Amino acid sequence: MSPRVRFAPSPTGFFSLGNARTALFNWLFAKHEGGKFLLRIEDTDKERSKKEYEESILEGLKWLGLDWDEKVERQSERIPIYEKYLKRLMDEGRAYFCFCSGEELESERQAQLSQGLQPKYGGRCRNISKEEAFKRAEKENHVIRFKMPSHTVSFSDLIRGKVSFDLDLIGDIIIAKGFDSPLYNFAVVVDDEEMKITHVIRGEDHISNTPKQIAIQEALGFSMPIYAHLPLILGPDRKKLSKRYMDASLRDFKDRGYLPEAFFNFMLLLGWHPSVDKEVVSAEEAINDFSFKKVQKGGAVFNQEKLEWLNAYYLRNLPVERLAEELSGFVPGEWLEDEDKFKKIVQIERERLRHLTDFRDTADFFFVLKEYPADLLIWKGSSKSVMVDNLSFLSNVIRGIPNHELWSRENIDKYIMSVADQKGRGEVLWPLRVALSGKEASPGPSDILYVLGKEESLKRVEKALKRLASEN
RNA sequence: GGCCUUAUCGUCUAACGGCUAGGACGGCGCCCUUUCACGGCGUAAAUCCGGGUUCGAUUCCCGGUAAGGCUACCA
């Protein structure tokens, strides 16, 4: 039977790094096995679930290229299904109404805690007769509790091996606030069964929910899926990513200029390792190579530096067209008027970028030459008069470079370098480069010349000459 | 407190029970070089502690320790 896995986020916050990683591993496993990857929105918490969060999740998955099979399921649209099973548990005496107040429960909890016991519901309402319970339920506040058995359950985790829990320590958990409002641990079990989920792949923070879910499965006569609990992604403090730290929306990473390819690759390496030792792994390779055997057990600290490095790597290795397209969202509209020019700039500047957002400030001089101090034109240890001589000479050389098809990067470089080798590289290349870019750091002069064209380049050289002259 | 999980360079990680514990990011140094960047080369840096099993433990077992997760009418 081909596997069916699901990514089941709750829309109570923006799509986060942790969410994304869980989705990624589900997706990889499904693709690797030729199975289905389903998306289920767990919006049973009516107060905290918001439409914009759901949109954020969908948007994030699309950005990363994690496409799902079948339609988006929402728990809020499946209420009758849960009701059916809830009634069945009630009928069979495996669940019951509980009328205890919050204060009662809290004081019980505190008492147990002070005795060093694991807090657990004592079962006060467990023995109220069914008739009485239904009668009281008509006017009293109540919830539905599951009668937790007291045996030991265990499951074989694909990542961790055998894990066992003593159900006796757990107590009767609340599985619904009413027939029309199921709670997480119950809804998950019902959905996974109804949706024929074969593998539950989720974060390690769910390990302790697993025995509760298994107990409910047993009560309902469902089969147990295979579990795989992924290690958590940690902040620099080695704690689960906090809401305010990296747990920000994936959208923020996009806005800060990260490429989806880089981000995908980065998450992949957080807890998983390819069978051959390498850092750059494409989605396709990851699918082919994926295995839970290579998934790490311990939590992984989010390493910003490595993400930066991967992003820079993809920035300089993606096809130019693709990169230009990504970059186009981060620059003023005028830059895109001459598509050919834009692509040339992208090609030249790409190796200097770490984020898409860097492009705007590094490439601006191709469009507008900013003011710069005349001193910047003077190569270290050299003099103004030499700079003036060299720039004047260069001006003539540039004028003499043939236009059209001979105005090529290679040909320009030939002309410039012959001057540079004659008169000294620093004395020639530095002032030319500054004249053309107005910057302390930039690509080489031949590259800039190539993009700017003869006319604009000559104008900038003249400007530099004037600037040097007016300094006296 | 209780339950569960985990433990290799600062970080991400590799290593059928068997070489000087390997790679990557970051750091440092050198080279390339008009600048920046790219690239190349080199270098420092780790098996949590204590027992056991074994000819031999990073690896298997036990005990500590530490870290993390959960302990909701959230998911």
Among A32, A20, A33, CA closest to A66: A20
Q: Is nucleic acid strand B under 7 Å from A96's C-beta? A: no
Cα four-point dihedral sign A439, A444, A445, A449: negative
E strand or H helix that includes residue A339 = helix A339-349
Catalytic residues of A: 243
Can you state the percent helix, strand and coil of chain A, rounding each to 5?
55, 10, 35
Stated length of chain A: 472
Q: How far apart are CA A14 and CA A304, in angstroms?
A: 20
What's the pTM? 0.94
- Contact residues for A131 (Cβ-Cβ < 8 A; gap 6+): none
Q: Is nucleic acid strand B under 7 Å from A155's C-beta? A: no
Nearest nt to the CA of A212 via C1' is: B70
Output the tens digit of pLDDT for each of chain A's 472 residues: 799 999 999 999 999 999 999 999 999 999 999 999 999 999 999 999 999 999 999 999 999 999 999 999 999 999 999 999 999 999 999 999 999 998 889 888 988 888 877 889 988 999 999 999 999 999 999 999 999 999 999 999 999 999 999 999 999 999 999 999 999 999 999 999 999 999 999 999 999 999 999 999 999 999 999 999 999 999 888 888 765 555 568 999 999 999 999 999 999 999 999 999 999 999 999 999 999 999 999 999 999 999 999 999 999 999 999 999 999 999 999 999 999 999 999 999 999 999 999 999 999 999 999 999 999 999 998 999 999 999 999 999 999 999 988 999 999 999 999 999 999 999 999 999 999 999 999 999 999 999 999 999 999 999 999 999 986 5
Q: How far apart are CA A356 and CA A315, in angstroms?
A: 8
Distance of A357 CA from B28 C1′ (whole Å): 29
Q: Is nucleic acid strand B under 7 Å from A240's C-beta? A: yes
Classified as helix, coil or strand, A458 is helix
DSSP assignment of A113-141 equals HHTTPPP----GGGGS-HHHHHHHHHHS-
Distance of A252 CA from B3 C1′ (whole Å): 37
The CATH fold assigned to A374-470 is Arc Repressor Mutant, subunit A (1.10.10)
Nearest nt to the CA of A354 via C1' is: B37
